[in-house]
Amino acid sequence: MTMPISPSGDGLVMRSTAHRAGPRSFPFLAKLLHWMTAVLVLVLFCSGVLMKQIGDGPMADTLYALHKTTGAGLFGLVLFRMAYRVLARLTGHWREGGGDRAVHGVLYAALIIVPMLGWAGVSDFGARELALGLTLPAIWPEGAGYSEQLLKSHAWLVFALMGLVVLHIGIALGDYVQRGAGRHSRAAAKMPQRESSSPSFPNMP
Amino acid sequence: MFPKSFKATVGQRLAVWGALLGLVALLLAAADVVSSIRLTQFSRDLVAYAGAGDALAQADSAYQRLNASLLSDSGPPAEKADIEVVERSVADIAMRLHGSVHARAQEAVDLLGELSRQVGSDHIGARESLKRLAAKRNELRIALNEGMTEVSGRLALHVDNAWQNKLLLSLLGMFLVILVITLEYRWLVRPITGMARALGSVERDRAWIGKLAIRRDEIGMLARALLAHLRGEQAQQEAAKQRLEVLSHEVERRDRLQLQGQAFQQRIASIATVLEQHAARMSGASGELARFSGSVDERAAAAAGSTQRASTHVDDVSRSLIDISRLLTTTAGEAQGTTEVATAAKVLVEEATADTVVLCEAVGAISEIIKIIGTVANQTNLLALNATIEAARAGESGRGFAVVAAEVKQLANRSAEATDQVRSGLDSINVAAQRITMRVGALVTSVNQVERAADSIADLARKQDASSRSISESTSKTAGDVRLVADQVEQVAGMVEDWRRTAETVTHASADLGRQAAELRQAVDGFMSETQRMRA
């Protein structure tokens, strides 16, 4: 869910940007997209849990509308992020190995699959209406009778996604904790001159 | 991705974890609240439906009676009260519920109103109404059943959804908790234990601590502090190593010293024991000393008197010796004078000897001369005889001559006489001279003897003088010495007095010393037992 920048590898364009902006700086757009994604995921998660819990009634209907609209927004945002990332030829900033790259990949996949499952579910169920009078295009034949399975898998996958989010937070924190200050990546940290053993720790903030 | 102020410190991490867990907990709580609200609604609905069923059932007997009176002609007449009971029950249902049930109940109420108007007047109409009411009641019953089924279905769905939410949220929360515990164990517990271990084995974990030190959280701070501390420690260790070497020498030295100290203590202890004994002995000895010093004092006083007297006697002797010396000097002078006299006498005797020789020679010469004179006198006598003969012959002319010749002859006789006298005189002189020579020779011998005696006297006197002088000197020295001895004896007496006092002091001191030695021994014994106890 992050939009990291690697000074190593092939992220040449953004690396120069990162260098200009400082050692731990990311492009503003990347940061914005990352944190927007995070907020939207949280809102979707909370609204999803609550609307499921409430079940029916006007409050539930409002939450459903909000959930579907936000979900559509997140889906678009994720598509945009992936396009941006591919265009900017960004690769994972976080340390390689340790499942981080895998976690990133799975996160992106879940961020595509989960909204699509929900979308298919509401298409089947026949409730494609969003807020503000918008309507989702149907991607699943209405009344096909798989809405319950689709929506259930949507819900379970969301929890898996939340588990991945938690894992992602843990890995990011761990990387941030253990890399110390002024390090772009683990690869940079492996460079001997950066492996500062001097008492002054010039890289320390 | 993180804001600049975010250092992923333990506090910040805890805040993040707290926020995540709080969100899950909040969702669980919200789900619970929603669920309880929903369940209240469901129970209320169910209660309403159940109440409606009850109301219908309660009105059943009234409805049956109504049915019997209206549908059979032989039955009792329909009663208004029964209609009211049924109407109340249906109105109750209409009031309790909404939707299709409410509508049907309302219709039933309307029908019942119509029925109550028709009862008694329009029997046929009433029967019609009753039939419709029956149909309506059936519909109402069906609607009630449907409603109940719907509520039950929704309840089941809700329970299902709530269970799913609760399960998934709990799983998420558990996963989060496990992750937090795992990660914080890795980031917090392990570094702390590692650093704590590293404090024990520095060199092996130094690189690892260096890696930790670049972290930005509290562990990083701790690791930096630890690293700085370790660097200091290393320097200190090197210094300490050197100090340790010095110290080990010192310890060896101390050990040696301790051994020596123990030996010293034991020796001190033994010395203290010996000292005690000595102090006791000394105490006794100083008592004796005090006793002796009294008698020594008396004897010293007696010795002082004796030396005083000796000094006086020596002084007398000295004075006598000086007199003797003076006399000897006089004797020597006399002997010298005697020697001189003897020498002079010797000279005189030698001169006398010489004179005697000269006299003898002169006597010899005189004797020769006398011989010549005798000869002359003889010849003169002869000549006078010749001259008388000749004068006799010469007769009267020769008479003067004969007188002169007679005179000459007389003279010659007298000369002969005189020479004889002289000769006898000379002979006695000669004898006397020879006697004198003999006596002078004896005198010379005597004078020589006198001289020798005088010389030896003088020599003896000198020697005597010298020895008497030396005696005098030594006597005066002796006198001085004796006085000195007297003084010293007096001093000795004073010293003995001092000594006596000192002996008293020594007695006290030795008693004190005994006590001190006992204390010393006790102290040493205590110290040794203490040391042994501490060593044990």
Query: DSSP letter at A136?
Result: P
- Yes or no: say if A135 and A119 are a contact pair by the CB < 8 Å rule: no
pLDDT at B202: 61
- Yes or no: say if B341 and B449 are a contact pair by the CB < 8 Å rule: no
Are the Cβ atoms of B13 and A178 closer than 8 angstroms?
Answer: no
Asked whether residue B510 falls in the same domain as residue B386, the answer is yes
Last residue of a domain, one of B145, B179, B198: B198
Write the pLDDT tens digit of every residue in B409-428. 787 788 778 777 877 877 77
Most A CBs within 10 A among B1, B33, B226, hence the mutation to make, goes to: B1
- Yes or no: say if B385 and B408 are a contact pair by the CB < 8 Å rule: no
Mean pLDDT of B81-86: 80
Asked whether residue B186 falls in the same domain as residue B209, the answer is no
Query: DSSP letter at A129?
Result: B
Q: How would you class B372 by CB atoms within 10 Å of its CB: exposed for 0-12, middle for 13-18, buried for 19 or more?
A: exposed
Mean pLDDT of B90-103: 82
Exposed e or buried b for every residue in B17-38, given b needs 16+ CB within 10 A? Answer: beebbebbeebbebbeebbeeb
Q: Is residue B1 part of a domain?
A: no
Asked whether residue B465 falls in the same domain as residue B418, the answer is yes
pLDDT at B307: 73
- pLDDT at B96 > cutoff 60: yes
Are the Cβ atoms of B214 and A201 closer than 8 angstroms?
Answer: yes
pLDDT at B40: 92
**Among A26, A162, A196, whose Cβ lies nearest the Cβ of B214?**
A196
Distance CA A7, CA B220 (A): 24
Minimal Cα distance from B208: which residue of A?
A197
Q: Is residue B3 part of a domain?
A: no
Asked whether residue B386 falls in the same domain as residue B404, the answer is yes
pLDDT at A38: 92
Are the Cβ atoms of B13 and A195 closer than 8 angstroms?
Answer: no
Last residue of a domain, one of B198, B213, B233: B198
Asked whether residue B219 falls in the same domain as residue B291, the answer is no
Write the pLDDT tens digit of every residue in B5-35. 787 888 888 899 999 999 999 999 998 998 8
* ipTM summary value: 0.73
| B88–chain A Cβ distance below 8 A for any pair | no
Mean pLDDT of B194-222: 77
Mean pLDDT of B182-211: 79
Domain boundaries, chain A: 12-183
Going B200 to B206 to B211 to B214, the CA torsion angle's sign is: positive
- Yes or no: say if A49 and B27 are a contact pair by the CB < 8 Å rule: yes
- pLDDT at B303 > cutoff 80: no
Q: Higher pLDDT residue, B75 or B8?
A: B8
Q: Is residue B2 part of a domain?
A: no
| pLDDT, tens digit only, all 205 positions of chain A | 444 433 333 333 333 333 333 344 567 888 888 899 999 999 999 998 888 888 888 888 888 888 999 999 999 999 998 888 877 755 555 444 445 678 888 888 999 999 999 989 888 888 777 878 788 888 888 877 888 888 889 988 988 999 889 888 888 888 777 766 554 444 333 333 333 333 333 333 3
Last residue of a domain, one of B149, B176, B198: B198
- pLDDT at B271 > cutoff 50: yes
| B165–chain A Cβ distance below 8 A for any pair | yes
Asked whether residue B231 falls in the same domain as residue B303, the answer is no
pLDDT at A21: 35
Residue B529 confidence class, pLDDT cut points 50, 70, 90: confident
Asked whether residue B289 falls in the same domain as residue B331, the answer is yes
Exposed e or buried b for every residue in B70-102, given b needs 16+ CB within 10 A? Answer: beeeeeeebeeebbebbbbbbbbbbebbeeebb
The tokens describing A62, both together, are 């409002």
- pLDDT at B513 > cutoff 60: yes
Q: Of the ranges A5-19, B159-173, B381-395, which one carries the lowest mean pLDDT score? A: A5-19
Q: Is residue B497 part of a domain?
A: yes
B52 Cα distance to chain centroid: 109
- pLDDT at B80 > cutoff 60: yes
Fold exhibited by the domain A12-183: Fumarate Reductase Cytochrome B subunit (1.20.950)
Q: How many CB atoms lie within 10 A of CB B339?
A: 20
**Among A172, A174, A201, whose Cβ lies nearest the Cβ of B213?**
A201
Q: Which residues of B touch A191 (CB under 8 A)?
A: none
Task: Using alpha carbons, list the distances in angstroms from residue B226 to B194, B219, B222.
Answer: 11, 10, 6
Minimal Cα distance from B16: which residue of A?
A169
Are the Cβ atoms of B154 and A56 closer than 8 angstroms?
Answer: yes
**Among A31, A167, A204, whose Cβ lies nearest the Cβ of B1?**
A31
- pLDDT at B214 > cutoff 90: no
Asked whether residue B473 falls in the same domain as residue B421, the answer is yes
Fill in the amino acid letter for B132.
R
**Among B23, B180, B216, whose Cβ lies nearest the Cβ of A181?**
B216
Of all residues in chain B, the percent with pLDDT exceeding 70 is 97
Asked whether residue B441 falls in the same domain as residue B397, the answer is yes
Q: How far is A126 from chain B (nearest CA, A)?
A: 19
> Which neighbouring-strand residues pair with A135?
A129
The tokens describing B518, both together, are 């006992």
CB pairs under 8 A between A and B: 112
Asked whether residue B158 falls in the same domain as residue B217, the answer is no
- What is the residue-averaged pLDDT of chain B? 80
Overall number of domains in chain B? 3
**Among B38, B176, B187, whose Cβ lies nearest the Cβ of A166?**
B176
Write the pLDDT tens digit of every residue in B365-380. 777 777 777 787 788 7
pLDDT at A89: 59
Asked whether residue B496 falls in the same domain as residue B428, the answer is yes
Are the Cβ atoms of A169 and B20 closer than 8 angstroms?
Answer: yes
Are the Cβ atoms of B172 and A204 closer than 8 angstroms?
Answer: no
- Yes or no: say if A187 and A10 are a contact pair by the CB < 8 Å rule: no
Residue B344 confidence class, pLDDT cut points 50, 70, 90: confident
Are the Cβ atoms of A50 and B27 closer than 8 angstroms?
Answer: yes
Domain that holds residue B166: 10-198
Q: How far is A38 from chain B (nearest CA, A)?
A: 12
Q: How many CB atoms lie within 10 A of CB B369?
A: 15
Q: Is residue B486 part of a domain?
A: yes
Interface of B with A in 224-263 (CB under 8 A): 224, 227-228, 231
Distance CA B172, CA B162 (A): 15
Write the pLDDT tens digit of every residue in B444-480. 787 778 778 777 877 777 777 777 777 777 777 777 7
- Yes or no: say if A176 and B183 are a contact pair by the CB < 8 Å rule: no
Mean pLDDT of B130-143: 84
- Yes or no: say if B137 and B56 are a contact pair by the CB < 8 Å rule: yes
CATH of residue B137's domain is 1.20.1330
Asked whether residue B185 falls in the same domain as residue B213, the answer is no
